Amino acid sequence: MKIITKEDVKNYKYPYDFVNKIICGNCLDLIKLIPDGEIDCIITDPPYGLNKNGIKNDADYCPEGGVRSPIGRTKYMSCFLFRKGNPRLIQRKTDIYKDTPGKMVEPDEGFINHPTPKPKHFIKQIIEMTTLERDLILDPFIGSGSTAVASKQLNRKFIGFEIQEKYCRLANERLARIK
72-123 pLDDT, tens digit each: 665 555 566 665 677 667 777 766 666 555 567 788 888 898 887 888 888 9
Q: Residue 152 contacts by C-beta under 8 Å, 6 or more apart in sequence?
A: 20, 158, 175, 178
The pLDDT of residue 63 is 46
User: Residue 95 and residue 56: Cα distance in Å, rounded?
Assistant: 29
The predicted model gives 112-141 an average pLDDT of: 90
| H or E element in which residue 174 lies | helix 165-176
Q: Are the C-beta atoms of 102 and 89 separated by less than 8 Å?
A: no
Quickly list H helices, 94-164.
120-130, 146-153
The pLDDT of residue 116 is 79
User: Residue 104 and residue 63: Cα distance in Å, rounded?
Assistant: 9
Q: Residue 117 contacts by C-beta under 8 Å, 6 or more apart in sequence?
A: 103, 104, 106, 143, 144, 146
Quote the pTM value: 0.79
User: Residue 106 and residue 122: Cα distance in Å, rounded?
Assistant: 11
| H or E element in which residue 101 lies | none
Give the chain's domains with CATH numbers: 6-176 (3.40.50.150)
Closest CA to 122 of 141, 144, 94: 94
27-57 pLDDT, tens digit each: 988 999 999 999 999 998 877 655 556 555 5
pLDDT category at 22 given cuts 50, 70, 90 is very high
